[in-house]
Each structure stands twice: as structure tokens, then as C-alpha cells.
Structure 1
Amino acid sequence: MSVTGRASAPTIQRDAADLVPSSSPAFGTPAHPFRITKPGPDRPKTSVLPILLPVSTLRPVAFRAFTRKHNLTLSSSTLQTLANFVGKNCGSGWREEGLAERVLDEVAKAWKKAGGGVIVEEGKGASVKTILQSLEGNIIGGRVVTGKTSPDGVVISMKGAPSELSTYDSTATAEDKENEESDLSLHPRSWMKIVGAYEMPRLLYNVEKKFFEISKSNPTLFPPPSHKTSLFKERYNLIYQRLLRNEAFQTALSFSETLPLQRSLGPNQSYKLTPIANLLGRSGTSHLLLGLLSISPTGDLSLTDLSGSVCLDLSHARIIPQDGAWFTPGMIVVVDGIYEEEENVRGSTLGGNSGVGGMIGGRFVGVTICGPPCERRDISLGVKSRPDSADFNSGGGFGWVDFLGVGSERAQGPRMRKIEAKCLQSEHPTEASKRLKVAILSEVNLDDSKTIGALKKVFKSYNDLILSERPLAFILIGNFIGKGVADGGGQISSIEYKECFDSLALILSEFPSILRHSTFVFVPGSQDPWASAFSSGASSTIPRDAVPELFTSRVKRAFSTANSESDTPTSAEPAGEAIWTSNPSRLTLFGPVHEITVLRDDISSRFRRSSVIFDCEAPDPATLEPKDVDMGSALDSATLEDLGETPRLPPKSEDLRSAMHSARKLVKTILDQGTMSPFPLSIRPVLWDYSAALHLFPLPTALVLSDSEISSFCITYEGCHVMNPGRLVPENDSNLVRWIEYDVLKNRGKLKEDRF
């Protein structure tokens, strides 16, 4: 019988990528598990033979990638690290195939994304080691592979936590970036962040490198004694470097009137500071000193800098400008005068004539005294004066420094301004601009029945408005009770304090629409727990921690209930929330674009109690002109008509000028000193390791200075808008409620008043 056919062998289904046949197809044994891959566009060659790459050989390539393309400078240690990295991951093809330049370009991009400084080295705002570790996982065959991410997917920011704005994508094209930007939330509240005093990066100014570095020590409430002196040394270094950038101290520039001292200079001359230790042997000569006002052990007023101290005689000194600022021990001032070397001057025995490190003999007779001139925010950051411009001047500055942990101005500023513009264009431009407002209420005493009625009036007035006219956020500032919290001694107990917040939760529950579409920020005062339990509301340490969660459960529950009952939930708008933060604290909007600093402190009375008294005449009130000032109850009829209010009888002109002068004097003193606590630690205790949270450098775009003992005001000084809401319910009018509505885009605050 002829065979017409035969059974075919069973067909083995294999993966298309399997190039190895089965070892025995007749029995259907499985294929071998290994694969043979060939180099190609999808499978790059993985074997790289590491080489020892000299630093001198890589230097020209690194110069092109970092300096010419990205305007960055490499330190010698960083260049050595990059040479080892390129030699290990790129091998012998680093030059011929151009692998090194591509890898270095990605390192430079990641450095700028992480907010690093102009000089690429450890401690300049980012970590080179972290960037290289993240990048090493993306390199195959010396090339950065498309779509492969780093182990953690992000570049570590300067605080050590992943930044959502710094997601690493080494091969992102312009189209990918546009798609990524389109997926971002376009609601302004999505870009709002509250930065507490204990969350800020601890930056220290390096005098030698003239840049800010991250503190290597962990903060603690019980630091070593050396941190106490470092507190004042850091303040002095900040003001000293700021002062040297002033035009009056630039030798190549003409004289400026920003520091109007008694001394007259020529067209090509400038001021020069003299260290106190250099006064020895120069009796009868005129000098300009920068130092800390302090009280010597003998009770005399002295001036101290990093080189020594000298007894200060201000009996004939003139204030510049006349009665324009407060001067108290603990402040850093500029004094122009004459040094007199005498053996019998009181205080000369302290340290003898040792010079550096002690009090020198003699005394310094001050002729004029003034505070260090303030510096605008754009100059400190090295940006142009136009707020809508992202270009940078050639003067440099600290634009690469991330002062708040939200991204530096130079790394995130241009991108955040584009996102802000998209947020405003996503809705009707007029409606979006109206929404960018913040309502600020101060001295909200919840144990007072009048405050409860005032809060209902404020919330009802905003609840009656359409959504586009309501504020994005409400800032409620303490003291939330009129007395300190304790278990006796005439103060209210912890249970009574919690009941006060429970009553606030009942009020908020009446306005669920406001809770769903707004962010509430609570800033404590000196009488809120727990510091008031042992200080009875007196001067306690600063910064102050937030109100404990023990008292805030009912308020949080009110927000949760309001968000769950929303009829029309929107994915674009985040849910309303209540945030309890420290005192002081920062509110940022669109990263470094808008920064609002909030401080609750009766600082004006502390200035009056501890200020130095000079033998000078009081200023002429007629010379004080109200420019760009909103003085609370001291508004004239013309200003009220401009604000759309009903004009009333103007107060006495003397009261108006006096209130304006007091407000200007207070604002100039604080901003010139660059700190929110320019006092000795005996008058205003400060937590040594958290003193950086009190610095006002660079100046914020707005400062809420909540002082309940002076009139409400809104003043702009050197581009920083300073607001004082005053008391929510004034003492002289129990049926009046007063607060401030701050316009973020215009950087202006408007005083609001209503009756209940």
C-alpha cells in the first residue's frame, strides 16, 4: 500500500522574539528560556567597559554643556565626580559618539529643575549625588533611554522630599511638556500652599562663598549655646551683604540718596564701613559703623559687630529720617560719628584694649543714626523690576535659592507665571481675577459673643455673593480667646477652649457653600495653647506652633460634612479645607510668584517700651502726606468715595497724620531690619534653631502684621504691601466688624467695614 501522506509534526507556538528552536520538536519540549538579542534602536548595547577619564580631558566638554548652554559653573570637586560618572557609564564612546555631552546636558537640566545654584556643587540648593543616582538608572549603553524612569521617579529637592514640580523626564519633548501642562489643575487653589515656620528650609548664609547653604545640623528645642550667638551673627551677615549691594556703597557708581547720612560725598565716592576693632589708634577720626545695639554689663549703650564692641554716645545723635523709625537694643543700625580714645571712659575696662573679641577703650560719639536701607524683592532675587517678566538682570542675586521649599524663582518662576496665566484664561478673565482675593480677620476672640455675631456677618456677606466674587482663602488670626489657657488662675480651661472652637464649627456649618470653595487658615496668638499655660499670655517663645488637634476636631468635621454634601462636585476645584499653621507662617500662591507672610504680635507696644530716647524734636505733622495709605478708621471722605463706601465726617487731621506716621514708622523699622523680631532674647524669646523662619529676606510680596493695639492700615514700602487688620471688633465700637480683603494680582489690601 502506497503511503499517500504522513502525519505532520505538532506545531509549537513560540514568541516572535524567541530565535532559539526547541531542542526536540518531535516530542514538543518547550523552548529554551534564554533569548538572543541584537543591538538596535529598541535594544541598545548594554555592555560598557568603564574607563578612567581624566578631569582635564572632560573639562572642555563640561564647559560647553554647563557654562555655555546653561550658564552654570562647575566646582573642581563636582567636575571630578562627573568625570568618574561619565567614565563609568559612557566608557570609551564618551567622545566619538557624543555620549558625555548628552549625559552632562541632562545633569544640568536636572540641577536647574531641583532649584540648584549657579555654582554646581553640594549644598547649593540641590544634590549632585542624588541627581547622578537618579540618572544612572536611565542610562543603558551610555545613552539615556526613552521612557525609562529613575528608581524613585523624581529629583530630590533641597528639603530632601520629592517635589511634584520636579518630576524627572530626560527625553521629554516640547509636545510632551505641553501635554503635561494641559493635565495640570487650572484652579488657583490647587497652587496654594501653607508653609509653617517648622517646615521652612533652614538656610545659612556662607560669607566666604556669598551664597545660602542648607544647615547640616538637625533642629532641636535644646540646642548648644553656640547657636545663640549664631542667631545674631546670621542676622548681621544678611544685613551686611544686603548693605554692600546698595548703590551708596558701590565705589564705581555715583552717590545715591538711599542712605542720607550727615556726611557729604563727591560724585565718584561712596560710603565705607569700618570694623570696630580698627578704631584703635584712630582717635578723632570720623567713621561709619554697622553693628548691633546692645546694653553692656555696666548698663551703657554699646555697638557690637563681629570684630568687637565700643561704648556708644548718642546724646547728640540725629535720627535719619527724623522720627522715622524705632531704635531698640537688638537692632542692627548704621551709625556715623567720631571715635574718641579715652582711658577713663566708662566701660573701657571691659576687655581692656584687647581689640578683637572684647570692648575697646574709648567711646564712639554718634552724629547720625539710621537703619540699614531695605532691598526690594526683585533686586534680592536678581529679577527685573517688571513683575510680569521672567528675565534676569546681569547682577545675579539669589534667584536660584529655594527659600520656602516651593521652588526657586529662577527654576520655577517662569513656569508658575505661565500656569497662573492659564488659570486666569481658563474662566472668564474678569471673574478669575476677582476670585484671587484673601480675606484677613484678626483678633478673633471666640469667647466673646460679639465676635460670634461679627463672624456671622462676614460669612453671610460673602455667602450672598456669587462664587467668582468670593475669596480663595480666609485667614483667621488669634488670639482666639481673650485670656490664656490654664487650669486655674482666672484663665479658661482646656475644656472651655475647645467649646469656643465648637461654637465656631456651628457658625461655619451654616455656610456650607463657603466651606466647599475656600481654604481656611488659622494662625494662633500668644494666648492660645499651649505656651499661654505657663506664660499667661505674656511674651512667649516664637515661632509658635499651631493650635493642637485636640481642639480642632469639630471644625474639621464641619468641612468634611460640607464637602460630602456637594451637589455638583468638580474635579478641577479642590475640596475646601481648614489648615492650622504656626505663627509666623507663609501662604504661597503659584510657587514663588506670590508670598504672603502672616505674623501675629503686638509689636508696636514692645517698640514703645524698649526704644532708645533721643533728644530730637518731634516731626511736623504737616509734612506727612498720605500716599498709598489706607488708615482704617482714619479715612477721609475722599478715600471713602474712591472705595465705594458712604462718606462720613472726617476725623481730626491731627489724628489722621499721627496714625499714618505711626504705621509708617512701624513698617519701615521691621522691613529695614529684615526680621520679625528685632529685639534681645530677654525681651522677645526666640527658638534659636528656628530663627530663620523670622527672616524677611527676600521681602515677601505681602506682609500681614497683625497688631491689635494700633489702627488698621495698608501701606506699601519697597514693593512689599504691609497690612494690619486690627481687631475684628474694635474696642470703641462694639457693633462694627472690620477686616481686610487682599487682592493678590494688584498686591493691594482694602479695608472692609460693616455693622451687625
Structure 2
Amino acid sequence: MPGPTLLPVKLQPSNVRPIAYRVLSKKHGLNIQSDALLVLTELFSTRFGAEWRGPLGQQFLEDFAKLWKKQDRGLFIDGPGCSQVIKEITKEQATRQLTMGSGAIRAAKTDTFADEPEASDVPREVMDWRHFVLFVTPDMQPNFHFDRIRKQFSPRDKAGKKLRPALRASLEYFSQRYFLLADRMSRDENFQKTSFSSIAAINHTLANQPQKGEITLIKNVLGRDGNKFRLFGLLLKNMNGNLVLEDSSDHIELNVTRAEKFKGSFFCPGMFVIVDGIYSASGGSRANDGDVISGCFHVSVISQPVAETRDLAMDAYGHLDFLGIHNDAKLAGLSLVKIDRALRRKLVALEKTLHGHRLILLGSNVFLDDLKVRAGLQKFFAKLEDQIHDLDQADAGNITVVMTGSFASQALTSAKGSVTAISNSEEYKANFDWLAEMLAKFPLVVNTCKLLLIPGANDPWQSTYSLGKPGSSTLPQTPIPKVFVTRLERLFPRGSLILGWNPMRINYISQEIVLFRDDLMTKLKRNDIVFESDLEFERMQLEREARGEDQNVENIIGDEVHLSAKIRQARKLVKTLLDQGNLQPFLKDLRLVSPNYLHVMRIEPLPNTIALFDSKFESFEVTYNGCKMTNLGSFISNKNNRKLNYAEYSPSTKKYAYKEIHF
């Protein structure tokens, strides 16, 4: 039976302060601020009434303190944080009462034994997988901001479809990446400070050397000429064209004449890197400038901050609901929504039973105005129709076909200017009308599958001012306007046609799948910094080839694994991208990223899989730190042949199957 109704009373902060001090401060070591005390006073007045001194109020403060410390919110209880924790406790209590009222059998605390129900009497909870398959676009993706003080994520309002970037988001464009990577490195044992009591630490100190793995702020190298340091910061170029490293404290010029790269990564301006070397008080192009640290840093080795696995990152950040899979997340407002361990286990077990679910990824640049592409699409959907016909209805329950732009071979502009006076937009719409007419011939595909369209460089509306040049466009790219796909919308059942953004995410039960259309390999190769050691290695390779040493048996058979140039470059791309924790680890002059959507470009924690659509590089699949990354290449890789490329991803097995169709 519910307890008696408690009448509210009017309390003052001075009334609640003694009990709050006794429970929160004296017992749990927390300091409550005045604004938080006002929030607690209002809560005690309305919820506990005249019984605010009783056990219910003290138990609430106990639960409050435990949750506050569990979320690592710090020693000082502020007003906004107090309100968030109260919301979470209230929501948890309401859920518990609902569960008990629905017939859950629980033993009373005074019982010695409890009669356990028979297995047949307990109704098993049936989870509908449809509730956990979401297409998350950047305008609806939950926005989490990394708090460098608490070292945790805090929620912000969703970005929506803002055209103008907010001032705060613009200022935090690089600092958010810096502090997030620094927090990741603080959990890496390779960057932990060595205890001073150890013999190794004493030897390092006596030799004026930094402790092993310790990251030093740039401001702390001043006055320590000739010492070795390890620095971490943003790689830039100054007005003189020299490389500069910048962190949260200052910046310093780099001397890379004898620097060597850590193998397997690209190093471009705009990336956060780790440099080992010696500080010199003399030298540098701005030695006489009093506003910066004089001298330069002689780099010996430059490397990337190593990525950590998804499980470790999710454990560190409390398994936050980064994609908003909870249906009641909208009701929670700005409170932190987490995925508990029981739900995670159920989701993993559920997706392993859905063997027939597939994600079919077509190669990029599906030019609908190309006759060869049209013939290939007809052959592909005809084959898919036959496969669905042979499958059971349960196995064909969830098939998503992803088509990636550009969907026109020429960029959509305001007018084409041809003698036929047909506008470019009408031709663009006619291409999707043809696609709808062609798909109407395959009813099983239309009624069973979902179609996801991701725009490319030639697609509206960005193409009207960028003219199809990726460097002139902005990320994330908005979806194709509905005015061009009206016939497709009428053809497909409601919810089966998804107009996606670039990039976007798919939450498939327990997995996070990232879809991104960009020619990344070209940008990485073009902007990779070339050191003297790279040129020297290239000269040695050419000399070996000229002497024919590369064809000797002892050079072919050895301990070193010989990989093709394609595999080596693919591994470099994957490692660079995942180590940086961002889909665009460049400066803004390569491709502008809207600061409002910085959380969309972030891949920290690592997703389960990333599907890259790079039309200028071959297809590959590389797994790094548990994240599987694939590239689909172009839909038709060679214009001289009639072969289309696509891949099928099975979420139950987490494997890709690469296929080709000759037409």
C-alpha cells in the first residue's frame, strides 16, 4: 500500500543545512554550495513535508551522495548538477515503483526465505529489435560536451539545423579535441608518471631527463635548455611556414631536420601529435619575439596518440547513451542518460539471433544520369529481389540499402544554359523519378527493404555554391531536398526511405555504425608532411632498386612481412583517423566543418564499424583496436568495364562480404 500523503511545508535553507552537512559533508566529504542548498530545500519542502527530518529524507541524501560520487562530479555540489542528480534519482524511483506494481515478486526485508516463482510463471521480457535500430542524423544526434575539469561528458542542446555557428562552439573547435585526447592519454600506461621512489625515476632525475612517458606542457620547458622532453599538442605552421606545436599553455617552433616518423601514420597540419626531442633556447625564426617562447624544439620522433578500445572508453565515460537509443531520452531533458549493464547484455544477445539482417553498402558515385550505372542498378535490384523471394519473411525482416552520392555526374547549379532550356534541377529530379520507376518493378524490395540516400559533392544544395568541389563545401552535409524525391516517397512505405546526412550514424541494437562519404586518402597524401628522413629513405630505396638488391632472395624471404602499397596505405589511413578520434583531423582550410556539429565528427569512443566511401581509392577492410573500418570505393571502379562493387554487412557476425556483379 502506498504511504500516507505528506503535506508540503515552507522550509528555509537554514533548516536543511544541518542535515545536509551531517550526511553530505561529514559522512561523504562533499561541499554543498548555496545554490544547491536552495534546490534541496525546495525538494524537501514539497516531497517530504513535515517528515523532512525523518528517515526518508536522510535516505534520499544518502542516495544523492552515492550517485554524485559515482558520476565523479567533484567535491563541490552546485545547483545545476544538483538538479540533474535529483532528476535521475526521481526517474529511477519511478521506474522501480512501476516494476513492483506490475507484478514483480520481491521478498520483504524481514523475510528469511522468499517463495521463488516457477520458471513458467515468470513472463519473459520480449524485446523488439525495431526499438533499437535508429538512423541518427547530425541534427538529432545527442550533443555531448567534454568537461576538462570533471573529465566527463556533459549534455548540451541538440545542434538542430543551425546555419550560423555559435561563438562558444567556434572557440572550442580545437580545444575540445585537445582535452579529449589528453584525457585518453592519461589512461594509457605508457604516459603514466613513474613513481619518484623508484630507482628508474631517481636515475632520470639525476640525469636531467624527463620521467618515462611523462607529457610536459610547453610553458614548462622554458629555462631548461638542453633537456629532453615529450610534448603533446596541435601541429601547425606559422607565418614563416615553419612547423609549430601548440598546447593549452603556449606554442613553440619545431626543428624537424632530423625527425623520424613513427611508422604507419600520416602527419598533417591540424593533427594532434606527440613529439620527443630536446629543447634549445637558441634558434628559431622568432627568437627575438617576446610574446612566444624563444628557441626551438629539436624533434627526434613524432608519433600519434594511440586510440583505445571502445569498451575501455565507454567504461571511462560511464556508458553514456551517445546516440539516444532510449525512447524516454526526450523526457529526461539535459540529464545524463546511461545504458546499464543488464540492457547491454540483452542487446548483444538479441542481435546475435538476427542472422537475416543485412546492411548493403553500394559504392560511391552512383550517377543516376549514367546509362551504365542505370544498367548496373537494374541488375543489382533484380538479384536482390530474387534473394528476398527465396528467404523467409523473418530472415528478410531488416535489409537496408545504402546508396551514396554524388547522384549526378555534374554539379547541380541554378541553370544549365543549354539550348533545350531544361534546368539542371529538372534533370536532377528526373534521375530520381527514373529510380522510382525502376524500383516499382521490384515489389519485394520496395516493401521489405529500407533505402538510405547519402549526398555527395554534386548534390544539392551545397553544390549550387561549391560547384562540386569538396574543399568549398561544409560538413556535415544536409540531405537531399524532398522536392527531388517525391515519387520515391510515394513508392516506399512510410519510414522506409531515409534521406541521410553526410556523415551520419546507424544505431543497430548494440552497435554504432558510422557512414562517411569523403575522399580522405587524397587529402592525407597531399598534406602529409615530408621530413628529411623520408627523402633519405626514398633515395635508399631507389638505389637498391637500381642495383637490383630488392630482387635478392635474402631480401624477399625474411622476418619482415611484405605488404602491398595498397594495404600499407589503407592501414595508415585507418590508424591516423582512429588515433585522432575525428573524421576530419585537418585545418579548416581543407574542408570547413561547422563548429555546431563538432560532436558529429568525433569518433571517440570508437564506433563498432566505420564505412568510408572514398571513390578515389580501392576497397579495403582494416580492424584497429576493435574498430572495423572499410572502404567501398567507387560504384563502378573502371568506366571501361561493366562491373559494380558493393558489400554486405551482417551485424550478427560483424563481418563484411564484398561482392561484384557483372552486367
Structure 2 length normalisation: TM-score? 0.79
**Is the 8 Å Cα contact of residues 143 and 599 (structure 2) preserved in structure 1?**
yes
2:318 is aligned, of 399, 402, 405, to: 399
Alignment of structure 1 residues 715-730 onto 2, 5 Å: 715-730=622-637
1:198 aligns with 2:120: no
2:218 is aligned, of 276, 287, 290, to: 276
Alignment of structure 1 residues 205-224 onto 2, 5 Å: 205-215=146-156, 220-223=162-165
2:380 is aligned, of 458, 461, 465, to: 458
Distance in 1 separating the partners of 2:644 and 2:224: 61
Alignment of structure 1 residues 396-435 onto 2, 5 Å: 397-407=316-326, 410-412=338-340, 414-419=342-347, 421=349, 429=353, 432-433=354-355, 435=356
Aligned position for 1:685: 592
**Is the 8 Å Cα contact of residues 363 and 613 (structure 2) preserved in structure 1?**
yes
* Structure 1 residue 496 displacement after superposition: 0.9
1:542 aligns with 2:475: yes
- CA-to-partner distance for each residue in 1:13-40, whole Å, 9 max, x for gaps? xxxxxxxxxxxxxxxxxxxxxxxxxxxx
Q: Matched residue of 2:174: which SS?
A: helix
1:244 aligns with 2:186: yes
Alignment of structure 1 residues 361-372 onto 2, 5 Å: 361-372=294-305
Distance in 2 separating the partners of 1:228 and 1:92: 50
**Is the 8 Å Cα contact of residues 50 and 90 (structure 1) preserved in structure 2?**
no
**Is the 8 Å Cα contact of residues 340 and 363 (structure 1) preserved in structure 2?**
yes
Distance in 2 separating the partners of 1:664 and 1:319: 15
Aligned position for 2:413: 486
1:497 aligns with 2:428: yes
Distance in 2 separating the partners of 1:423 and 1:368: 44
Higher relative contact order (CA 8 A, sep 6+): 2
**Is the 8 Å Cα contact of residues 58 and 83 (structure 1) preserved in structure 2?**
no
Per the alignment, do residues 278 and 437 of structure 1 end up closer, same or farther by CA in structure 2, a change over 3 Å counting? same
Distance in 2 separating the partners of 1:549 and 1:122: 44
Give unpaired runs (5+ residues) of structure 1: 1-40, 136-154, 156-165, 255-264, 383-396, 561-574, 622-653
Per the alignment, do residues 125 and 292 of structure 1 end up closer, same or farther by CA in structure 2, a change over 3 Å counting? farther
- CA-to-partner distance for each residue in 1:372-411, whole Å, 9 max, x for gaps? 11111111111xxxxxxxxxxxxxx102433223358853
**Is the 8 Å Cα contact of residues 518 and 576 (structure 1) preserved in structure 2?**
no
Report the residue type matching 1:495 in the other structure.
Answer: E
Q: Matched residue of 2:57: which SS?
A: helix
Per the alignment, do residues 300 and 446 of structure 1 end up closer, same or farther by CA in structure 2, a change over 3 Å counting? same
1:81 aligns with 2:39: yes
**Is the 8 Å Cα contact of residues 519 and 616 (structure 2) preserved in structure 1?**
yes
* Structure 1 residue 512 displacement after superposition: 2.0
1:99 is aligned, of 47, 56, 60, to: 56
* Structure 1 residue 183 displacement after superposition: 10
Aligned position for 2:515: 598
Aligned position for 1:57: 19
Report the residue type matching 1:739 in the other structure.
Answer: Y
Report the residue type matching 2:49 in the other structure.
Answer: G
* Structure 1 residue 743 displacement after superposition: 1.8
Question: Percentage identity across aligned positions?
Answer: 28
Distance in 2 separating the partners of 1:399 and 1:43: 34
* Structure 1 residue 275 displacement after superposition: 1.6
* Structure 1 residue 43 displacement after superposition: 9.0
**Is the 8 Å Cα contact of residues 504 and 516 (structure 2) preserved in structure 1?**
yes
* Structure 1 residue 202 displacement after superposition: 2.6
How many residue pairs get aligned? The number is 584
Report the residue type matching 2:661 in the other structure.
Answer: D
Distance in 1 separating the partners of 2:313 and 2:379: 42
1:379 aligns with 2:307: no
Report the residue type matching 2:362 in the other structure.
Answer: L
Give unpaired runs (5+ residues) of structure 2: 106-121, 197-206, 327-335, 542-560
2:286 is aligned, of 343, 347, 357, to: 347
**Is the 8 Å Cα contact of residues 611 and 631 (structure 2) preserved in structure 1?**
yes
**Is the 8 Å Cα contact of residues 294 and 304 (structure 1) preserved in structure 2?**
yes
2:505 is aligned, of 568, 576, 586, to: 586
Per the alignment, do residues 457 and 579 of structure 1 end up closer, same or farther by CA in structure 2, a change over 3 Å counting? same
- CA-to-partner distance for each residue in 1:597-626, whole Å, 9 max, x for gaps? 1110001111112211123226999xxxxx
Structure 1 length normalisation: TM-score? 0.70
1:235 aligns with 2:177: yes
1:308 aligns with 2:250: yes
Distance in 2 separating the partners of 1:173 and 1:400: 23
Aligned position for 1:176: 102
Distance in 2 separating the partners of 1:619 and 1:84: 75
**Is the 8 Å Cα contact of residues 292 and 330 (structure 1) preserved in structure 2?**
yes
**Is the 8 Å Cα contact of residues 399 and 409 (structure 1) preserved in structure 2?**
no
Per the alignment, do residues 318 and 420 of structure 1 end up closer, same or farther by CA in structure 2, a change over 3 Å counting? closer
Report the residue type matching 1:330 in the other structure.
Answer: G
Aligned position for 2:527: 610
- CA-to-partner distance for each residue in 1:671-696, whole Å, 9 max, x for gaps? 11111111111111111222221011
**Is the 8 Å Cα contact of residues 187 and 423 (structure 1) preserved in structure 2?**
no
* Structure 1 residue 107 displacement after superposition: 7.7
Distance in 2 separating the partners of 1:334 and 1:683: 22
Per the alignment, do residues 689 and 579 of structure 1 end up closer, same or farther by CA in structure 2, a change over 3 Å counting? same
Distance in 2 separating the partners of 1:375 and 1:687: 26
**Is the 8 Å Cα contact of residues 194 and 586 (structure 1) preserved in structure 2?**
yes
1:441 aligns with 2:353: no
* Structure 1 residue 583 displacement after superposition: 0.7
Distance in 2 separating the partners of 1:727 and 1:245: 39
**Is the 8 Å Cα contact of residues 55 and 80 (structure 1) preserved in structure 2?**
no
Per the alignment, do residues 303 and 503 of structure 1 end up closer, same or farther by CA in structure 2, a change over 3 Å counting? same
Q: Matched residue of 1:339: which SS?
A: strand
Aligned position for 2:401: 474
- CA-to-partner distance for each residue in 1:259-302, whole Å, 9 max, x for gaps? xxxxxx9xx96311122222222222211111111110112121
Distance in 2 separating the partners of 1:229 and 1:274: 24
Q: CA RMSD in A?
A: 3.7
* Structure 1 residue 218 displacement after superposition: 7.1
**Is the 8 Å Cα contact of residues 228 and 688 (structure 1) preserved in structure 2?**
yes
Report the residue type matching 1:411 in the other structure.
Answer: I
2:654 is aligned, of 733, 747, 752, to: 747
Per the alignment, do residues 175 and 463 of structure 1 end up closer, same or farther by CA in structure 2, a change over 3 Å counting? farther
* Structure 1 residue 126 displacement after superposition: 8.1
- CA-to-partner distance for each residue in 1:344-385, whole Å, 9 max, x for gaps? x31334xx133xxxx322121110011111111111111xxx
Per the alignment, do residues 516 and 185 of structure 1 end up closer, same or farther by CA in structure 2, a change over 3 Å counting? farther
Aligned position for 1:706: 613
**Is the 8 Å Cα contact of residues 340 and 364 (structure 1) preserved in structure 2?**
yes
**Is the 8 Å Cα contact of residues 351 and 651 (structure 2) preserved in structure 1?**
no
Greater C-alpha Rg: 1
- CA-to-partner distance for each residue in 1:186-216, whole Å, 9 max, x for gaps? 4534421111112223322221221222347
- CA-to-partner distance for each residue in 1:526-550, whole Å, 9 max, x for gaps? 2211111111111211111111111
Report the residue type matching 2:479 in the other structure.
Answer: A
Q: Matched residue of 1:741: which SS?
A: strand
- CA-to-partner distance for each residue in 1:717-747, whole Å, 9 max, x for gaps? 1011101111121116531121111121322
Report the residue type matching 1:93 in the other structure.
Answer: E
1:507 aligns with 2:438: yes
Distance in 2 separating the partners of 1:252 and 1:360: 28
Aligned position for 1:530: 461
* Structure 1 residue 326 displacement after superposition: 0.9
1:292 is aligned, of 217, 223, 234, to: 234
Distance in 2 separating the partners of 1:418 and 1:520: 28
Q: Matched residue of 2:513: which SS?
A: strand
The structure with the largest helix share of the pair is 2
Worse-superposed segment, 218-227 or 580-589:
218-227
Per the alignment, do residues 307 and 44 of structure 1 end up closer, same or farther by CA in structure 2, a change over 3 Å counting? closer
